[in-house]
Structure 1
Amino acid sequence: MDDPILTAVAVALSTRAVEGLGDAAREALASVMRLVRRKAAEHRALRAALAAEPASGGGDDRAVAVRRALADAAAHDPDFDQELRRRWASFHQTTVRADAVTNTVSGQVTGPVVQARDISGGVHVGLPPQQHRP
């Protein structure tokens, strides 16, 4: 089963995820990385996956290897799994923008719904106008 949190952690560890992050997010991700590196000291597959150079085509192979090793380490150490998830949640919270918009539709909707944050120009909802045929 593909765990989205482990996949996200693996991708972050296998790419240059730190570029473009603010200070708080960078520190939170560094906390995740320190935890994983400490675990790698005792987990051979994780250590090897983190040490592997990315393939010339990108970091996909490395991310898959890191994700598998993380899953194995987490399965064998529930405390590590729990702490990894706690630190990842902390990182995720620092990356949520304060001006983010959440659109929600609930109840019975009987017509079109438009959900948007910023719109430049007009929005038309409905059937196109009847065209006259000669």
Structure 2
Amino acid sequence: MPEPVLVSIAAALAGKSVGALYELVRDRFSKRADAAAALAASAGAEPESAEVAALAEELDREQRADPEFAERLREQWANEAQAGHADRGGVVNQITGTVSGKVLQARDIQGGVSF
């Protein structure tokens, strides 16, 4: 079973919301038809879908086979996460991995919060 971070990466790749990371994986997977097919099949899929799970499995397989790729993948993932930073009082809320329970993301709250 892939690590939660790989599932998060796979979900982001499915949404093509991570440009340089997508290119890294697409280029790497171009050498393996089954991996390229998993990437293509995941396009637009929901994060909990079988397609995203299959992509996470391919990422896991590839990172186990090549520690250098694993390092580049995680480095690029961290870069993409940092790219969503706020300037001049803005806010960026981000959750990765599996979340269970309630989550509140906010900037300024006037008054109380209850669930």
Percent identity for Structure 1 against Structure 2: 32
What is the RMSD computed on CA atoms of the aligned residues? Answer: 2.6
**C-alpha deviation, 1:91, in angstroms:** 0.4
Query: Quick check: 1:75–1:81 contact (8 Å CA) kept in 2?
Result: yes
Partner of 1:118: 108
TM-score normalised according to structure 1 size:
0.59
Does structure 1 residue 76 correspond to structure 2 residue 65? yes
Aligned residues, how many?
95
Which 4+ runs in 1 deviate beyond 6 A?
Answer: none
Q: 1:7 and 1:96 mapped to 2: Cα distance?
A: 22
TM-score normalised according to structure 2 size:
0.68
Structure 1 unaligned residues grouped into runs of 5+? 19-28, 102-115, 124-134
Q: 1:32 and 1:53 mapped to 2: Cα distance?
A: 15
Q: 1:90 and 1:36 mapped to 2: Cα distance?
A: 15
Q: 2:28 and 2:85 mapped to 1: Cα distance?
A: 27
Does structure 1 residue 9 correspond to structure 2 residue 24? no
Query: Quick check: 1:43–1:73 contact (8 Å CA) kept in 2?
Result: no
Q: 2:79 and 2:42 mapped to 1: Cα distance?
A: 28
Structure 2 unaligned residues grouped into runs of 5+? 93-105
Amino acid at match of 1:40: F
